[in-house]
Amino acid sequence: MPTSIDTLVAPQRHIFLSPHYDDIALSAGGAAALLSANGRTPEIALIFGDHPDPKMLLTQFAADMHREWGLSAEAVIASRRQEESVASLTLGSCDRYLPFRDAIYRGDQYTSDPELFGTPKSGDDAIPAQIRDALPISDSDRNRLRVYAPLAVGHHVDHQLAFKTGVDMAADGWEVWFYEDLPYSLKPEHRHARHPELRALGFAPNVIIDVSAAWPKKIDAIMAYPSQLPTIFGQYVGVGSSREAIDEAMTTYACMVGNGVRSEEYWTLNG
């Protein structure tokens, strides 16, 4: 049974933890657009989007990525923030930039794809608590705020740190809904690897949101990230980067979780 729109919009504040610039449009853009259409202002806490430390040399891994993109670090951040602003305008959300850097800019902890999608390094142990402290919230928000955090499907270390933030907040009594990370969840092997881990921790997909009414805005928001579409949908998903191909791939997944209806699935921590 789909969750009612009244349940979705019940809290006065809604903060989406976004590890990277396009995560909310891809993973929770339908819910964000519905919240905006129903009188709420979804707040997107962009976590790992700060500029690299200018005093720290890029690792070869990061430098190779920049060479592939054809952009400097400053140009990468500037272009991504411009894309983010367009997507937020489309969804009716507002951006909150937190002071954390992408994994590839946090020294030499992550210098390969296996490390980037492996276990977070000990140097990052304090980050979940720091993310929580950086959120624009106080104890007075406890009964009027819902936080949305990633499930870390795909195991990207930045998503795992954001997931841990959500878990810690849920354990402390905050209401937290956990979203399926897209595009990772579009691949069955990533879902099949992550879902058993989540169920073992006490998670279950208890919330299904019918996002049919907001679907065009969700796709519009995704299309606001032209720098990422060839990589995400062309190379990673393998469907091409046209609007039609992206819409079809996203619709197939959304209808799978919604039993034939375009939907987004959210998990909660039972107990």
Nearest alpha-carbon partner for 154 in 208, 115, 194, 112: 194
Return the ∠ at Cα 185 (arms to 196 and 34), rounded to 5°.
115
Question: What mean pLDDT do residues 17-41 have?
Answer: 98
Please name the residue that has the structure tokens 């272009």.
Answer: 79
Query: Strands (DSSP E) along the chain, which ranges?
Result: 13-18, 43-46, 94-97, 145-150, 175-179, 203-210, 263-269
Q: Is the pLDDT confidence value at 73 over 80? A: no
Kindly write down the DSSP assignment for every residue of 157-200, as one continuous string. HHHHHHHHHHHHHHHTT-EEEEEPPTTGGGSHHHHHHHHHHHHH
Q: Is the pLDDT confidence value at 271 over 70? A: no
pLDDT of the residue at 76: 83
Percent of the chain with pLDDT over 90: 88
What is the C-alpha to C-alpha distance for residues 17 and 232, in angstroms, rounded to an integer?
A: 20
Question: What mean pLDDT do residues 174-202 have?
Answer: 97
What is the C-alpha to C-alpha distance for residues 10 and 4, in angstroms, rounded to an integer?
A: 10
Domains of the chain: 5-269 (3.40.50.10320)
Q: Reduce the DSSP state of residue 44 to 3 states and report it.
A: strand
Q: Reduce the DSSP state of residue 128 to 3 states and report it.
A: helix
pTM score of the predicted model: 0.96
pLDDT of the residue at 167: 98
Are 31 and 209 in contact, with CB atoms under 8 Å apart?
A: yes
Percent of the chain with pLDDT over 70: 100
What is the C-alpha to C-alpha distance for residues 198 and 63, in angstroms, rounded to an integer?
A: 34
Question: Which of 41-45, 98-102, 224-228, 251-255 is least confident?
Answer: 224-228
Question: What mean pLDDT do residues 120-127 have?
Answer: 97
pLDDT of the residue at 15: 98
Mean pLDDT, the chain, whole residue set: 95
Q: Is the pLDDT confidence value at 229 over 70? A: yes
What is each CA distance from 238 to 36, 169, 188, 241, 249, in whole angstroms?
32, 36, 14, 9, 10
What is the C-alpha to C-alpha distance for residues 260 and 263, in angstroms, rounded to an integer?
A: 9
pLDDT of the residue at 74: 78
Angle between helices 73-91 and 23-37 (to 10 degrees): 30
What is the C-alpha to C-alpha distance for residues 106 and 116, in angstroms, rounded to an integer?
A: 11
Question: What mean pLDDT do residues 176-194 have?
Answer: 97
Are 44 and 93 in contact, with CB atoms under 8 Å apart?
A: yes
Are 233 and 240 in contact, with CB atoms under 8 Å apart?
A: yes
Angle between helices 157-171 and 127-134 (to 10 degrees): 70
What is the C-alpha to C-alpha distance for residues 149 and 267, in angstroms, rounded to an integer?
A: 10
Per-residue confidence band for 218, with pLDDT thresholds at 50, 70 and 90: very high
Question: Which of 33-37, 62-66, 165-169, 253-257 is least confident?
Answer: 62-66
